[in-house]
Amino acid sequence: MSVIARSGEVELQDQAVTVASGPIVLSVIGHAGRRIRVDGVDRRLSAGTTGVLALDYTRSTGFHRVEINGQVFWFATEDHKLRLEGITRMLSHLEHLGTGWTGQALFSDGSGFLDPHVVYGWFDANADEALNAIEGVLAAPRTNDASIHVLSRRGGSSVLTVPTMRFLRSDPQRNVVEQEGGLLTVAGRAYNPARVVARRRQRTVDTVANRRAVHLLGLLHQMLSELMRAQLPAVPKARCRLWRERVGRLSTQPLAVKLRLRPSALALPREGPEFTDRSYIKVFDLTRTASGFGWAASVDPARRYSYIESADRIYQAYAAHRVASVLGLAQTSGAFGAAPLAFTGPKFDLYYDAVPPVNVVASWRAQTPVPDASRPDLLLHERATGKVAVLDAKYRVGSDGHASEDSRKEVAAYQSLYGLSSVTILYPGAGSDTRVISDHGQSVIEVPVVDPNDGLDQAMSLVLDRLQSPPYL
C-alpha cells in the first residue's frame, strides 16, 4: 500500500515529507477499504482502484498524520514565510521570555501540546477561585435522594418482583423455604421467599455535582504536577508548588476520598445545586474552562505538532517580546497578555493587543457617539514626552519579499484613526532589509523580524525617530 500527496507528487513514508501548503490530494493505492483517518478525523476515500481524498491546507503550518489500517504516514505543510523551523524557533524563544503565551498548538492527531505558558496563565487567573469553590463543596456537600436495592425479610409495596425472582433462582435451596400456603408453588409444593429484593430511599453524597468537584481537583493536581516539570521562572514555580500543596490537603477530605475513583463527571451536563449554589456554579464553570484547552496533558508530548491558524498569534507574541527586549522592557505580568500594559521600563511602556488607554492615545472618533475600539498589536508610549508609535505584527509576506500590500492598507487605518504620520509593520521577511516608504509627510516603516540577527535593534531607531504626540488627546 502506498500514499501519494499530489502536490508535487510526493510518496508518503513513515518519516514526514514536506509539501507546500495549499490544496492537497491524497491518492491511496492498494487499500481495499474506503475509510482512513487524517489528523484525528475519519475520512472517506472516493471509489475506484485508487482512493482519492482532497484536502485544503492553505493556512496550515505543521505536520499531518494519515492512518490507514494501523499504518501511519506523515507529511508536513509549510508556508513561504518562516516555515516550520521558524515557528518552532519562535516558540522556543517565547518559552524562555514569558509565562503566558496565549496561543495553542494542536497535534495532528487531534490531541495537543501541553504549553506551560497557557496552563500557568489559567492558574494565575483561576486557581485560587477554583480551590476555594472546591473547598466549599467538600466542607458542606449537598446530598440527594437515591433509590437502592436491598435484601429484606419483609414484603410490602417496596418489593421488586423481577429482581426478587432473579435472586430466588440464583440459589433456590438457600433463598426459598417450603411452607404451607406459600406464595410460590413448584411441583405441588408451596414455598415462601426467605428474603426479597426491595427498594429503599436514602440520602447520598454520590452526585454528579459532587463528583465534578472531586474530579476537577484531580485534574488540577495532574496539570500542576506536569507544570512543575516545565522550565518556569522561580515565582511561577513557587506559586504552583503552593497550589499543589493545597490540592493535596483537599484530596484527603472524606468526600474526595470517597468519590475520586467513581466514573468521571467532568463532561456531564449541569445538575442540581450547580444551578443555585455559588460554590457548585463556580466549579461547573471552571471545569469547562480547565477541560477546554483542546488537548490532553502529557508528561512527554510528542515533537510533531500542527500550528493550523496559530502562526499569526505566535508571530504576534514573538514580535512583542523581541521589541521589548531591544528596548530593555520587562514583562508586567506572569501571564503574558493578561494586562494591556504588557511591558514597561525606565522610559517606555509597551501595550499589547489592547484598546489603548484614552490618556495615552485617542482616535478622532473617541468623543463621537460611536467611538472606535481599535486594538493595535503594539503601542509604544514614551512616558516623559507622551509621544507614541503604533507597530503592527503581520505574519504575511508580499511577492517581493517585503510586507504585503494588505498589511500596508491595514496599518494605514491606524494612521487615519490616530492622526499619526508614521506606522510600523513587523513581518517575517527573512532575507529582507528594513525599508521606509514615505511621501507627503507620511511614512510606513517595514521591519523584518525573524531571528536575533535580523537587525531589529538598528531598525527601532527609525521608529523612535518618528515618535509623535497624539493630536486628538
- Give the tens place of pLDDT for each residue, 384-435: 999 999 999 988 787 788 888 888 999 999 999 999 999 999 998 877 899 9
Query: What is the rounded distance in angstroms from the CA atom of residue 89 to the CA atom of residue 107?
Result: 17
Whether the predicted model's global pTM rises above the 0.75 cut: no
3-state SS, 250-271, equals HCCCHHHHHHCCCCCCCCCCCC
Beta bridge partners of 63: 76
CA distances to 168, 330, 455, 457 from 326, in Å: 83, 11, 10, 6
Phi, psi at 254, each rounded to 5°:
-55, -45
Query: What is the rounded distance in angstroms from the CA atom of residue 464 to the CA atom of residue 470?
Result: 15
Query: What is the rounded distance in angstroms from the CA atom of residue 459 to the CA atom of residue 426?
Result: 10
**Domain 2-78, CATH 2.60.40 — does that match?**
yes
Torsion of the alpha carbons at 56, 58, 60 and 65, rounded to the nearest 10: 30
pLDDT at residue 169 in the model: 80
Do 419 and 384 contact (CB within 8 A), yes or no? no
Phi, psi at 108, each rounded to 5°:
-65, -25
Query: What is the rounded distance in angstroms from the CA atom of residue 151 to the CA atom of residue 229?
Result: 51
Query: What is the rounded distance in angstroms from the CA atom of residue 335 to the CA atom of residue 149?
Result: 52
Query: What is the rounded distance in angstroms from the CA atom of residue 410 to the CA atom of residue 424?
Result: 11
Amino acid residing at 434 = T
Amino acid residing at 417 = L
Query: What is the rounded distance in angstroms from the CA atom of residue 100 to the CA atom of residue 239?
Result: 14
CA distances to 26, 39, 301 from 67, in Å: 12, 9, 19
Please report how many Cα atoms fall inside a 13 Å half-sphere around the Cα of residue 313, on the Cβ side. Answer: 13
- Give the tens place of pLDDT for each residue, 175-210: 788 787 777 777 777 878 888 887 777 788 999 999
What is the sign of the dihedral through the CA atoms of 437, 459, 410 and 93?
A: positive
pLDDT at residue 331 in the model: 86
**Within 10 Å of residue 86's Cβ, how many Cβ atoms?**
21
pLDDT at residue 436 in the model: 96
| Three-state DSSP class for residue 118 | helix
**Within 10 Å of residue 187's Cβ, how many Cβ atoms?**
4
Beta bridge partners of 447: 426
Do 468 and 387 contact (CB within 8 A), yes or no? yes
- Give the tens place of pLDDT for each residue, 278-299: 999 999 999 887 765 433 333 3
In whole angstroms, what separates CA 96 from the centre of its chain?
20
Q: For the purposes of burial, counting CB atoms within 10 Å of the CB of 157, is it exposed (0-12), middle (13-18) or buried (19 or more)? A: exposed
Single out the residue of 132, 139, 134, 147 nearest to residue 209, CA to CA: 134
Location of each CATH 2.60.40 domain in the chain: 2-78
- Show the low-confidence residues of the chain (pLDDT under 70): 1-16, 21, 39-40, 49, 58-63, 78-118, 147-148, 157, 231, 291-311, 334-338
pLDDT at residue 94 in the model: 60
Do 293 and 119 contact (CB within 8 A), yes or no? yes
Phi, psi at 306, each rounded to 5°:
-110, 145
pLDDT at residue 441 in the model: 92
Cα angle 307, 313, 317 (rounded to 5 degrees) comes to: 120
pLDDT at residue 157 in the model: 65
371: left (phi over 0), alpha (psi -120 to 50) or beta: beta
pLDDT at residue 249 in the model: 96
Place of cell 433463598: 175
Amino acid residing at 285 = D
